[in-house]
Structures are given as structure tokens and as C-alpha cells.
Amino acid sequence: MEKKTVLSCIQPTGNLHFGRYFGAIANWVQLQEEYDCFYGIVDYHAMTMPFSPKKLRENVWDLAFNLLACGLKKEHVFIQSLIPEHAELGWILNCFASYGQLTRMTQFKDKSAQSQEKSGEGFISAGLFGYPVLQAADILIYQASYVPVGKDQEQHLELSRNIATRFNHLMGKEFFVCPEPLYTEIPKVMSTADPNRKMSASLGEKHNIDLFADEARIRKQIRSAVTDTGDTPAGEMSPGVENLFSLLKASNHQEAHNSLMEDYNKGELKYVDLKQAVADALVSVSAPIRAKKQELLSNKKEVKNQIKASSAEIRKRAQQTVKEVKELTGLLNVRF
Ligand code: TRP
């Protein structure tokens, strides 16, 4: 039986921290066993917020190396702007996307506020508004059945489904596969500095632990993790302690997790022991990934060429879809 297609994408902004790793990338690595996978580094998306050209290019390559170091196979990784058909299909799909639905995207509301602040001149790009349509193009161009994403992408997925359905209906053909989200079970990783907020690059350095940080830094960040601020109701686990336990679990250090949980239940848990175990766990997850990155960096040129080659190969699929879309919509299909 033919394998079903999985697609997901990540923006080349911010660093790759444990929240992104446990919440997304580790799962993407697993999915490669079972599905036909496409993983995009979406640089067109990264232009929707104020950006620096130099940083954009640096971030794209850094993320490419990071993803390969985490275990994504190079054949599955592409850089969005090397496949300009994403933007082309994005335009066509704009004409099938509901303006009203776009105005209801909650992420736009959050991000436009960030953009106004970051730009220093209250600027919000039209690209930021249209961004979910480009995301729909990323998904539909490969006829993806499943899209592993976090809950924050639910509305965007719904828009992609609506676009696919409307296109199929108006063009009179069941052409686009209607994509389904694939939510991961991994618990949300919270900031160790403020366990009531999600671990995130945009909150600042102390709110995320970089997957590629050196061992001393990882240990230091865990040592200073907030545990109990004293405002948790009696009998409940504080968010900080809960977060440390879920980091242990996400790192697959189940034995340490269970024995420390027993201590906790007996009221005998020492936070230093928990922190020690979490630091050990994170260091053991990060060490082989860092080593792999070093190895890739020692062949920098070759690895970059491989990513370009895989993008060129993946582009063929995208070109085929756009060709068919042109036929269906009445646009000319001329090859010069
Ligand atoms: N919007 C996603 C995010 O901010 C990134 C993204 C772009 C994406 N295109 C996609 C995710 C296609 C899944 C599928 O995280």
C-alpha cells in the first residue's frame, strides 16, 4: 500500500529549544518510519514579521543543519523559497480563501501586535495577514493527508481544509486531499523561568533552553528553574515541578521519573534531586545531537548541496501539482 503523506513546516526564526524539539521535531523524526514525509523550512513565512536579510539567510542554514542533526533525513527536508511554486499556488489559493475567515485568525491578532512593536513604527505587513493561505499552499501542494502541528495551528488547518473543499467544489474535481491535523501527545514544555508560560524563543533567553547549548549552560538553567513559589493550593503539584517531571518523561528517563514521583507522593522529594535528574536527562538528549551537528558542520558545503538537491527533487512534486491546478483553473500551461 502506498504510504500516506505527512507535511509540516518550521519557521527559521528564533533558536531550536527543547520545547520545539520535544513538541515537534522529535515527533517528525519518528513519523519518517511510517509516512512519506515533507518537512519545510519556511523562509517566505519568516518575512511576514520585521526581519533582517542577513539573519534570514543565516537562520535558514542553521535550522537546516539543526534539523538534520536531530535526525530528519535530508531527502525529506526542503527550503520553501527554493520551491517558488509555493508562492505561486499561494496566490491562486488566495482567490479561494475567505476574507472573512482570514479576519478571524487569532494568531494574526497576536502577531500583528508583536509586529507593531518590533517594527518600531507600528507596521503590520499584508503578508502577515495572508500567511495562513501560504501555509495552505505548503500543505496542499504535496497532497498531504496529515499535518503534525500544535493546537495553536488549529485555525490555520481549518482554513486549509476549507480552501481545499472550496477549490474541489468550484473546479468540479476531487483534486486536493483534505488535510487532517496530527496532534502530538507530548505535553507542552513550559519555561523553566516562568512555568506558567510556554517555553518560547520570543520570550527571551532565560525562557528557553537551547537544544544545542553546552552542558554547563543546560545544567545552570535547570538549577535555576522555578519550583514552588508557594502559591499552589495544598495537595496540588506546582506548575514548575510538574514541568520538570514532564521534561524527564519527554527525555525518556522513565525510571528516574517514577522513582522521583514516588518520593513526591511520600512528601520526600528534594528539588535538588529532581533538578539533577532533569539536567542529566536533557544533557543526554542533547549530547548526540550536538555531536551530529559538529559532524555535519565539518562538511558544510556538501551538506548545503544535499539540501539544495533534495529541494530540487521535492520541487518536482510541487510543479506537478501547480501544472494540474493551472489546467483546472483555466490558467495557461506553457513551457518556455
Ligand atoms: N504556521 C506554522 C508555525 O508558525 C509554520 C508553517 C508554515 C506550517 N507552513 C506550514 C506548519 C505548513 C504546518 C504546515 O508554526
Q: Half-sphere exposure of residue 84, counting CA atoms within 13 Å on the CB side?
A: 0
Q: Quick one: average pLDDT of 265-283? A: 97
The C-alpha cell at 54 is: 542577513
- Name the CATH topology of 5-186+299-329: Rossmann fold (3.40.50)
What distance, in Å, lies between the first and last C-alpha atoms of the chain? 37
- Domain edges within the chain: 5-186+299-329, 201-295
Instruction: Note whether 219 and 231 are within 8 A (CB).
Output: no
Residue 114 to residue 301: CA distance in whole angstroms: 36
Residue 156's contacts (CB-CB under 8 Å, 6 or more residues apart) are 105, 107, 132, 135, 136, 149
Taking the C-alpha atoms of residue 292 and residue 261, their distance in angstroms, rounded to an integer, is 33
CA–centroid distance, 21 to ligand 1, in Å, is 15
45 lines ligand 1 (CB under 6 A): yes
Architecture of domain 201-295 in CATH?
Answer: Orthogonal Bundle (1.10)
Q: How far is the CA of 9 from the centre of ligand 1 (A)?
A: 5
Distance CA 215, CA 290 (A): 10
Confidence of residue 187 (pLDDT cuts 50, 70, 90): low
Amino acid 221 reads Q
Atom 11 of ligand 1: nearest residue by CA position? 9
| CA 107 to centroid of ligand 1, rounded, Å | 12
Q: What is the pLDDT of residue 230?
A: 80
Residue in 11, 7, 111, 105 with CA at minimum distance from that of residue 60: 11
Q: Give per-residue pLDDT as tens, 233-268.
A: 888 999 999 999 999 999 999 999 999 999 999 999
What integer pLDDT is reported at residue 180 of this predicted model?
97
Cα(309) to centroid(ligand 1), Å: 22
| Cα 230 to averaged position of ligand 1 atoms, centre (Å) | 38
Q: Is 112 in the pocket of ligand 1 (CB under 6 A)?
A: no
From 45, 78, 128, mutation site for ligand 1 pocket: most ligand atoms within 8 A of C-beta: 45
Asked whether the predicted pLDDT for residue 208 surpasses 90, the reply is: yes
Mean pLDDT of the chain: 96
Percentage helix, strand, coil for the chain under 3-state DSSP, each rounded to 5: 60, 10, 30
Ligand 1 binding pocket includes 135 (Cβ within 6 Å): yes
Distance 42 CA to ligand 1 centre (A): 8
User: Nearest residue CA, atom 13 of ligand 1?
Assistant: 8
Segment 166-179, tens digit of pLDDT = 999 999 999 999 99
